Amino acid sequence: MSIEEGYRPLEPGVRTDFTQELDYAGYLHLDTLLSAQHPLSDPQHPDELLFVIQHQTTELWLKLMVHELVGARGFLDTDDLARARKSLARVKHILRTITEQWSVLATLTPSEYAEFRHVLGPASGFQSVQYRAVEFLLGNKNAQVLKVFAGNPTAHTFLTEVLETHTVYDAFLRLVARRGLPVPATVLERDVSRPWVEQPELVPVFREVYEDTTGHWDLYETSEDLVDLEDAFQLWRFRHLRTVQRTIGFKPGTGGSSGVAFLRRALDLTFFPELITVRTTIGTS
């Protein structure tokens, strides 16, 4: 029978016997992955599986983001700017993917979600270890949130380590200094466990980069990569806010936050403020 008769025949070289060989499901541990969805509504609500899978897949992407950001930081530490930029580019694409993913969850109507929201109890995305690690790696350090993970020693230890190590931006600024640009010692020697706050002394440094792109092309391009990353992160935050507002209105979050108001305040957070401020100075006398 040919393909015109209803099916595409297997090519002679296609493997079909995996009794002694690793197959696709085994490599990906699909038995474990596809059995990790356990809706709690009883009887099971047909839309709870969507809610579970949406958040599980986001956690997988966050895991990759942590991996790539740690990698980018390491490449910056060793002056391998090209490989650092590749990792940052991958993070930007991940953010675009999980931003678009909100459109799937947005098909969950308020009436549908209200029918099973109670089974979450106090569970909330605020408690995501990996999301917190991403924010820490990008400079939004907040030691107070470690209290949320006090009952999980493994998570608490991991996040404490990320809190106490330098950020991707710290690594970039150290590289900029090694290139001979006048990054202030107070920046290079700062307490990296503290949240980043804008450093006005850095603005002239970045102005030099932006006004001499020929002499600082790779630093200029990496600066734009970081701005791209921040824009992508903010779009993800905004899409999250709009999806929550669409689904629960202005109800409090399951984890105890104020919900939409709490998410809106996050939009005021910035990872690389000097890279925005410098734009005001470019082209001026």
CATH at 207: 1.20.58.480
- Which among 168, 164, 141 has a CA at the least distance from the CA of 230? 168
Confidence band of 7 (pLDDT split at 50, 70, 90): confident
- Asked whether residue 235 is domain-assigned, the answer is yes
- Asked whether residue 114 is domain-assigned, the answer is yes
Domain of residue 57, residue span: 44-239+275-279
CB neighbour class for 160 (10 Å; exposed up to 12, middle 13-18, buried from 19): middle
Bind-site residues? 51-55, 113, 117, 240, 254
Average pLDDT rounded to a whole number, residues 209-225:
97
DSSP single-letter state for residue 108: S
- Asked whether residue 37 is domain-assigned, the answer is no
| Residue 35 neighbours by CB under 8 Å, 6+ apart | none
DSSP single-letter state for residue 216: T
Number of domains the chain is built from = 1
Write out pLDDT tens, residues 147-179. Answer: 999 999 999 999 999 999 999 999 999 999 999
* Cβ contact 111:140 at 8 Å: no
Report the half-sphere exposure of 68 (CA within 13 A, side-chain side).
Answer: 19
Name the token pair of 74. 């390491």
Residue 2 has pLDDT above 60, yes or no: no
Bind-site residues for substrate? 51-55, 113, 117, 254
Bind-site residues for heme? 240
Rounded to 5 degrees, what are φ and ψ at 210?
Answer: -75, -25
Name the token pair of 123. 């569970």
Please report the pLDDT score of residue 199 as a whole number: 97
Handedness of CA 133, 252, 111, 100 (dihedral sign): negative
